[in-house]
Amino acid sequence: MKNQFLRGALLLCLLSGSISLHAQRQRGQGQAVRQLVQDVQSAMPRATLSDDQKAKLQGDIDGVNAAFQARQQGQPVDREKISAMVEDMHQVVDGGAFKEDDQQKLDKEFNALSSH
């Protein structure tokens, strides 16, 4: 009986640790997405973007920001939609309109996100 209690307590500790680690990873990824959005926004004025590219990037940025705001208010967030918006931003950034140093910095950030 005592053995079963110890096993149960150990299992609960492992589960709560696993859940906590998963939550920390999600928070870390959320912070990385926020930083990416800020960096894309700050690089946009130096880029030679078409009006369509500007509108697409701004729409994706607004969508990601709205998702973070909804999350802070306790509302559910569709992670797949956020991933799709980030991928759409990546395609525009890879279009060659950004300055070389901005392009390299943003590519590192996109690559870091895709490795998670």
Q: What is the pLDDT of residues 27-48, one digit of tens each?
A: 557 899 999 999 999 999 999 9
DSSP label at 44? G
Domain total of the chain: 1
Position 77 in a domain:
yes
Flag whether the pTM goes above 0.75.
no
Position 75 in a domain:
yes
Position 84 in a domain:
yes
Question: Nearest 5°: phi and psi at 50?
Answer: -75, 165
Position 17 in a domain:
no
Q: What is the pLDDT of residues 51-90, one digit of tens each?
A: 999 999 999 999 999 999 999 999 999 999 999 999 999 9
Position 53 in a domain:
yes
Position 14 in a domain:
no
Position 23 in a domain:
no
Q: Provide the domain limits for residue 93.
A: 32-114
Query: Token pair of 87, please?
Result: 């991928």
